[in-house]
Structure 1
Amino acid sequence: MARGGVFCVEGQWHRNLDEEGSVQPTLELLERLGRIRYIHKDVATPDEIEYFLGRWALRQYADYHVGFFAMHGEPGKLWLTDRHSVDLADVAEPLAGRCEGRRLYFGSCSVMRFSDSELHDFLTTTGAAMVCGYTRSVEWVEAAAFETVLLDVLANSPRHDGAEQRLGSARWAALSASLGFRVAYASGKTWRPRPHASAQAA
């Protein structure tokens, strides 16, 4: 089976140049395990994210069908730096009608705490099959462990609801729910995990 492709745009997490922190080690781990191929780009301005998203939408990158947005966030908004942000509408614009069958993951705190209708508008504009992410603030290490599994599923599952099936299982549902994980589909359906009784009792 061909490894799934992930395209990642990562914001600048820290104010100070000597601070480190990146999702790239997670991508490298999955690549070394033979699970994914990836492209990673740093972005710090609205123009940069618009440029790279426009490039990703080209037909030559169709195999990179997972879009991973790694940056700080708040409901409906992504922070590229401590001074530059973009709304989901700004993300949708360069992708308008160009994301058929693609799966989008916002690895950003609280971005998915957004109304169903606005998420559906975003999916309608982009043409993406689904979008997922967090409705709460998340802790780095927990999120990194979670998205190692999530990215593998998004990249390799033949079903758009593969993340729902895997992360709603007894093994993963408690962590998924604690992170406020949420999925919205182009069909209009949304999904949130519910911890299994056995997991809650453990």
Structure 2
Amino acid sequence: MAKDVPAVAPGGNVRRRLATGVFAFEGDDSDADLRQQFGVATLLQTVRELSGLKFIRRDIGTAPELFYYVRKWTQQRYRDYQIGHFGFHGKPGELWLSGSTKVTLEELADVLDGRAGGRIIYFSSCEIMGSDDAALRRFQQRSGATAVIGFLERVGGSLELPAFELLLLQALNDDVRMDAVEERLRSQHPYLCELLGLKIIN
């Protein structure tokens, strides 16, 4: 397991890494084969073994459950779980929790209400970043998040998504600046970035 070594900037100043922990919200996929074992928990366990990135994970089936745990995530006691990992089906501007239950980015922003300062929102969802840039920036500003990360394309059911998520979470755990994370991903893994339609608002 990787040691938790702080980043050191020129001049000897210690700089806080973007992320040392993940708070994961995982939807109930009504179309999923329940015999399959791979999910967000498996991904996060793998990342923890590789980098020491700690995590909390909660199953989410309803909007009130999501809002309850989102408020928990933004409490001071969970300040070291900087990445909010939202693992749901998606459409532009919407998360589909289970069945026909959906939550819009506007509704999620209402709940966050500026309390996501110092945190990163990562949508592991199809097409959610397909909203126009102005709407995504309004969401970022209203949430208070340092960055919002997601995809323009359909990503469900592909092996490329978990492979990319490993790379993304590792980069967020290694680096201290979001622009460095994006440059690293686009320069080292351009095929995956293009295939999934990576979009970062920061």
TM-score normalized by the length of structure 2? 0.86
1:128-167 matched pairs, under 5 angstroms = 128-138=145-155, 139-167=157-185
Aligned: 1:124 with 2:174? no
Give 1:155 shift: 3.2
1:19-168 matched pairs, under 5 angstroms = 19-20=35-36, 21-138=38-155, 139-168=157-186
Partner SS state of residue 101, structure 1:
coil
Amino acid at match of 2:193: S
Cα distance in 1 for residues equivalent to 2:29 and 2:173? 24
What is aligned with 1:198? none
Give 1:17 shift: 7.6
TM-superposition CA deviations, 1:124-170 (whole Å, max 9, x none): 1011111011101014311000000101222332112232121111x
Cα distance in 2 for residues equivalent to 1:174 and 1:36? 25
Cα distance in 1 for residues equivalent to 2:83 and 2:186? 20
Supply the RMSD in Å over aligned alpha carbons.
1.6
Cα distance in 2 for residues equivalent to 1:13 and 1:76? 19
What is aligned with 2:10? none
Percent of pairs with identical residues: 34
Give 1:18 shift: 3.3
Contact 1:103 1:154 in 2 (8 A): no
Matched residue count? 184
Amino acid at match of 2:68: Y
Q: Are residues 12 and 131 of structure 1, via their aligned partners in 2, closer, same or farther at CA, if it must alter by over 3 Å?
A: same
Cα distance in 2 for residues equivalent to 1:148 and 1:17? 23
TM-superposition CA deviations, 1:38-93 (whole Å, max 9, x none): 01111000000000000000011011111111111010000111221100111112
What is aligned with 1:18? 34
Cα distance in 2 for residues equivalent to 1:17 and 1:180? 26
What is aligned with 1:190? none
Cα distance in 2 for residues equivalent to 1:178 and 1:79? 22
1:6 counterpart (15, 22, 42) = 22
Give 1:16 shift: 6.4
